[in-house]
Amino acid sequence: LNSYECTDEMEHVIYLPEGYNLKYKLSGDSTTLKSYKVETKKEDGFTVYTFSSSIKDKLEWNETASGYKDLYIMPVYRLCILPPGEDDGYAQFNKYYNELMKPQSTLNADAIEELESWTEGIEDKEKIIECIFDSVKKKISYIDFENGIGAIQPRNVNDILKKKQGDCKDMSNLICQALKLNGVNAYMAISSTIYHDYEFDFPCIASADHCVAVAEINDKKIYLDATEDYGSYGHPSQQIQNKNVFIVNNSGGELVKVPLVNNKENLALLTVNLKKNKEVLEGDFTYELSGMSKIEILTFLKQNSKSDIEYSITYYLESKFNNLQLSEITFEEKDEKLVIYGKANSKNAFLTVGEATYLSQNILMDPHDYKMKLDEKENIFFNQALNNQFIYNIILDRAIKLRPVDEVALDQNDLHFKYSIQQPSDSHLKINYSFQSNTNQIKISDIEVYNKLNDNISKTFKKKIKYEPLGIKK
């Protein structure tokens, strides 16, 4: 229950035939509410439910924008209506979705022939799963078109295979039927994504905004989301990691928390080698992206034409720096990594005052791509658990004495930042820093910690590195 209009008060009245059971869950930020209540009464063979809510503060009109400041301040009620004698909402949701799928999921002879050709000659079940997953990703174009019951019911599996296009439900159902054809247990799984307003923690279709396939083999679950072009087999997609999915099966369904891929598998390693030439730093860089850290850039590359790729990727990467210009970008995929190479240079990075020289750290790449400061009721999701590592080798034009620089080690809940500067030789500075997360979500309760950590990072990067010619005594 929600309102598409800005309102200070909201009321819904539901008439339910006696014997039916209504379950509900208030979802959203209830601290914004002055009051909320649910009242029931009997009336002419119906149970009448009245849902009432009002907010604490009146909505303010924002004169600089077209509308109220906060359109979605009113929390919503998610509902589950159960038939007489039933009390398990998840079991009923499972039954309902099975009934929706049944008429759409029988393969015809043409479909069977085509699907069998995909896996011809493959005996190993795990390789069959991977083959079917990759085939659906490559052969079926993703379209996001939903209308009426089509918002939740898959289209006919044979039509999807013939027309070679479908949405998340269609692609997942095709994967399931193809796997079953090959003797693999496979199920549709209804999920909420990291972008959805609610977790799937209540048996209601409003709890979900996505669908994937789940294969079961050797007592393990393999999550298969064909809508993510560059998702890797064996890893759940970025958008469902650490989220609940409801697996639709023949035994009442199963609610499962999707695992978060360990950040060790998502290494993003930037190595920059620069040499001082007068007042300019010149050199090259290598950016190695593993696991899920490469998906964003691979997707970005796909969205740009070949003639625009160098310009586009240069512009994209330069946005991660404050004062480092890139050129001659090339890239390759090798050893399951995306590796980007290029030239780099920076002007105006040095300031000399007397015998002392100050090197600005604005040549450093941002430690992560997300907002450095969140509002008090804002939460964000990372695309994956982060493992961002940075190495800068700077060769100066003379032997120098580096003024002491404090190492930084910040550990806040599931977030970690480390920073240090070494002097391996008289003219060589080496800057190492890293940002890691063991989570993909910053919850409202973590905002203060997140902001504090980022504030300390900003202060670290704003400091200039001071050095003097070797031999100068102070």
pLDDT (average), residues 240-260: 96
Q: Which pTM does this prediction carry?
A: 0.87
pLDDT the model gives residue 403 = 94
pLDDT the model gives residue 59 = 60
In CATH terms, the fold of domain 264-469 is Jelly Rolls (2.60.120)
Q: 15-18, long-range: CB within 8 Å, 24+ apart, which pairs? A: 15/43, 15/46, 15/47, 15/48, 16/46, 16/47, 16/48, 16/49, 16/81, 17/45, 17/46, 17/47, 18/42, 18/45, 18/46, 18/47
pLDDT the model gives residue 73 = 58
What span, in angstroms and rounded, lies between the C-alpha atoms of 71 and 59? Answer: 9
Q: Where in the chain is the domain with CATH 3.10.620.30?
A: 97-257
The string of pLDDT tens digits covering residues 39-61 is: 999 999 999 999 998 888 766 65
The string of pLDDT tens digits covering residues 178-212 is: 999 999 999 999 999 998 888 999 999 899 999 99
CB distance 47 to 21 below 8 Å: no
Q: Where in the chain is the domain with CATH 2.60.120.1130?
A: 264-469
Residue with more model confidence, 123 or 310: 123
Closest among 173, 140, 138, 180 to 155, alpha carbons compared: 173
Question: In the CATH scheme, what is the code of domain 97-257?
Answer: 3.10.620.30
pLDDT band at 65 (very low <50, low <70, confident <90, very high): very low
pLDDT (average), residues 381-400: 96
